[in-house]
Amino acid sequence: MADSAASKPNEAPAQAASSAASATTTKPRVITSDTWQGFKIGSEGYGPHIVELSTRGDGNESLAAYRQILSCGYQEEREKAFDLTRALANPKKSVYETADYLNQEALKLATERNRCQTVDDQVKGLSITLTKRAAEAGVEGAAEAYADTVVDAGRADLWPTALQYLRAAANRMDSPAFTMLAFGDRTIPLGDVERTAYQITFDRLEMEGWQSVGGGSRRVGRDRPAYDIKLTEAQNAEAARRAKEIYAACCEGWKSRTQTAQK
């Protein structure tokens, strides 16, 4: 009896140590399935579902499908960045650098890699179809996305349509479209007078307190030679006149409209 009683005080610490060891060596949960745009994603990956959305998806679904194509295109870069993070990890510095957390992230990346394997060239080729539907539906950001796909595909014949979508979106104060027209790549076939008019309008909106999405990064382009627009006095006057027209079409009373919508 004495031996039995003497052994009991040591049981609790032993059990606690065992529990602590178990807690620190808990295996990360393997991600085997998830949902995306209402689909249950399994071994078939994203590809078949993107194809399906290209035939029947609405504007928002179509833009989401295009963005998933883009996301899969960056998968290799994400994995390289993660490998570097794991190599330099210091568990004492952050909970996000512990082995358990990093193992979870590695599993997520592996799962995403598998899902992206079916996003092949045929699926990527649906980008124009997807972004066109989204732009026609007036989804925010879709006009810029369509213009990007036109650039990537080298489809100069589609620029008139792309500019039509961008201008219409800018009239709705669609921030990505507005910043593309004002500060986008000079390969966009937009005359310098019109481009300057959008820049003037953009500056006016920012002075009035409009918070554009990504506007700051676009503005950096002004300091690069390719963006060095030199207009004559007459062209500057024309750009100012067009800026007033653009503002009247898109933005007159925007503050009061925004305040009303938020009530």
pLDDT at res. 25? 42
Question: What is the reported pTM?
Answer: 0.79
pLDDT at res. 258? 65
137, 58 in Cβ contact below 8 A?
Answer: yes
pLDDT at res. 58? 96
From 126, 200, 208, 149, select the one nearest 170 (Cα to Cα).
200
> Model confidence at 221, in pLDDT bands (50, 70, 90)?
low
Of residues 243 and 27, more confidence is placed in: 243
Q: What does pLDDT average to over the chain?
A: 83
Q: Where are the domains of the chain?
A: 34-124, 173-251
Give the Å distances, CA to CA, from 188 to 127, 185, 197, 205: 19, 6, 15, 23
* Number of other residues whose CB lies within 10 A of the CB of residue 200: 19
113, 45 in Cβ contact below 8 A?
Answer: no
> Model confidence at 255, in pLDDT bands (50, 70, 90)?
confident
Mean pLDDT of 197-225: 72
Q: Give the tokens for residue 36.
A: 């995306």
